[in-house]
Structure 1
């Protein structure tokens, strides 16, 4: 199943290398990549089938989906290739280590690929190529990729559910910018869109990866709580409520129209590990080899300016596209001030981060 191209929207991270860029404000994500290194290495050592993967080709191909502009993607790729080499060496197959490594860096066409290419490590051990396009659809030929990687990416949806911006829909998300703390109708609209996106994502990857290939996903999510009947559980993530409250304050000050806020929604869904397992089971082409929560970096979000700078790098493009660039500084300054005033309330709302490793079934 391919995602309809006309419905896929692009949500690139802040480009360039300026003070508000993603390249300068993604240390939190980098720490999580580092935190997952040992788990990933162990899984590769246990689950990578070198005979199947390289029976017909001497080049090992890795694709990083949602690579952004670096430097985190380069660190993740180095971790993967190091683990692959160790796998060969541990089995006494040093002489059979792939003759070449090829890495495909993927993101939307609007991603700052120039910045990415300028930042490529000069002493890298792999051939690099950029692959523009949405990971919600096909990107590569059949059975061409040995290892897929994606970090802090697949929680982004292909689009905002159309119902939440429709005044005539029961799922109209008036006064809110996300499904967190919203009505059951809004939650169901987000759920349905996310389920469709995951179906497209897994279907595409199942065709592109070799049988026996691995896929590692670092995912911001929410834990499933079986005794809760509705999704106010999701309110434990405070980031979106923080931005939402600041936008509404700007409405009260006359700086932003209420209609603009009513029509703005963030296309992010926090998938629980159980939801991922259910999506994989529906797809039927992968086995879940490992799901493990990663330790959250100590001190993350304890300083308002640092915390807000990471939020801004991720969603500035969304804000600018909908509201214009004029409100950016005022909005994020207000977010910083409000976070410092109510730090405990928002600090309690961080999602879990977990690493999931899937393996393509042999048939």
Structure 2
């Protein structure tokens, strides 16, 4: 199996005030918009008779984290498959469902499994590891689901933190409002990671199996500088630079820190799927998500950003709680002061349904 150096970190674990479990409502709003699409996709595109083998149906949720969203998604999928099975009028019994919850090895699987629904109709297994690599045996998975995880890169592009490179991103922690060379470096890393992702899944998914993927994505032609997630990362970088000016954080540390997240365009996604050639695009839709006003949503946005990035920040800057708390207090204030910026921002997801081709 291919070995890939992984530098990204899991979302905040536990059920505390700064946990992902308690700060993923923004992701949930995006997920709600896809629920009907996933149900329709299963009803229209899933071949129950062909895929069910040995009365077992295997599902994986890639990038599950430790929050409640993954359980809602899996429950919807299981119910849709059961309805599809009944609508076929087959005499075969309902399959047994095996669900594999995947995330980084540092993910809080203890919290995840402690909150498993008691009345679930599936067997649950944890699968630690990066979805940029192989995770399962060949032709063993019937349906892959992933929500909001794919833009997280396996690592920051190396040239972005190379002081001798044209892509050196000094003074910023993301490609938002950076020179075009920085964005191209991120784009290149995303393309490499997605090709690894598709190659791995092509081995693991049975012929005719489905992948239901939904993740933050730019509509073609929209500026990345107005994409909500990028705006939040830009404000976080600004907060860090303020702390540099005050002598609270070392400037060299900030210069070598970047967030491994890339929001691709829908056109890029289509190109990567077609270049890989192992899947067909059965359905693709762009979905909007509500934007809160800065004064109303500043704490929500700040806590969501913290839940997603604190592990990265602590690993790079150290585990000083005072510094971490100050950073996100500053971020909350910057968001609150940014009504005009958020008024121009947008938040969109792309839903892509892929089917594994015959070799």
Normalised by the length of structure 1, the TM-score is 0.94
Please say if residues 221 and 352 of structure 1, whose CA atoms lie closer than 8 Å, have aligned partners that are also in contact. Answer: yes
Give 2:157's match in structure 1, choosing from 149, 161, 164: 161
Structure 1: state its 5+ residue gaps. none
Q: How does 1:81-230 map to 2 (within 5 A)?
A: 81-93=78-90, 95-225=91-221
Q: How far apart are the structure 1 equivalents of 2:12 and 2:67?
A: 11
RMSD: 1.5
Q: Distance in 1 between matches of 2:342 and 2:232?
A: 7
Change (3 A) 1:358 1:300: farther
Whole-Å separation in 1 of the counterparts to 2:202 and 2:95 = 25
Contact 1:12–1:108 (CA under 8 A) maintained in structure 2: yes
Q: Is the 8 A contact 1:60 1:98 kept in 2?
A: no
Aligned residue in 2 for 1:277? 270
Picking from 9, 12, 37, the partner of 1:11 is 9
List per-residue Cα deviations over 1:17-43 (Å, max 9, x = no partner): 100000000011122222211111111
CA distance in 1, matches of 2:197, 2:301: 30
Shift of 1:216: 0.8
1:3–1:136 contact (8 Å) kept in structure 2: no
- Cα pair 1:312 1:332 within 8 Å, conserved: yes
The answer for the alignment partner of 2:50 in structure 1 is 52
Q: Is the Cα–Cα contact under 8 Å of residues 242 and 346 in structure 1 kept in the other structure?
A: no
1:251 aligned residue: 244
Indicate the residue corresponding to 1:70 in structure 2: 67
Cα distance change on mapping 1:191 and 1:295 into 2, 3 Å: closer
2:354 is aligned to 358
| Secondary structure of the corresponding residue to residue 355 of structure 1 | strand
Determine if contact 2:293/2:339 at 8 Å carries over to the other structure.
no
Give the whole-Å Cα distance in 2 for the aligned partners of 1:43 and 1:300: 34
Q: 1:3 to 1:259 in 2, by over 3 A?
A: farther
Deviations 1:159-213 (A, max 9, x none): 0011010101111111111111111221121111111101100000011000000
The whole-number CA distance in structure 2 between the counterparts of 1:207 and 1:253 is: 52
Instruction: Report how far residue 242 of structure 1 moved.
Output: 0.8
Distance 1:204 1:288 in 2: 17
* Number of aligned positions between the proteins: 353
1:49-70 Cα offsets, whole Å, 9 max, x none, are 112211x321110000011112
Aligned counterpart in structure 1 of residue 35 of structure 2, from 29, 34, 37: 37
- Shift of residue 126 of structure 1? 0.2
2:22 to 21, 24, 27: 24
Q: Of the candidates 226, 234, 238, which is equivalent to residue 224 of structure 2?
A: 234
Secondary structure at 1:125 match in 2 = coil
> Secondary structure at 1:134's aligned position in 2?
coil
Question: For residues 68-103 of structure 1, what are the alpha-carbon distances to aligned partners after superposition, in whole Å with 9 as ceiling and x for unaligned?
Answer: 11211100000111111111122223x435331000
Give the drift of 1:114: 0.7
Partners of 1:283 and 1:263 in 2: how far apart? 33
Secondary structure of 2:177's partner? coil
Deviation at 1:117, TM superposition (A): 1.0
Change (3 A) 1:287 1:172: same
Unaligned runs of 5+ in 2: none
**Structure 1 Cα separation of the partners of residues 72 and 266 of structure 2:** 25
| Cα deviation, residue 335, structure 1 | 0.7
Shift in Å at residue 153 of structure 1? 0.4
**Rounded Cα–Cα distance in structure 2 between residues aligned with 1:261 and 1:70:** 30
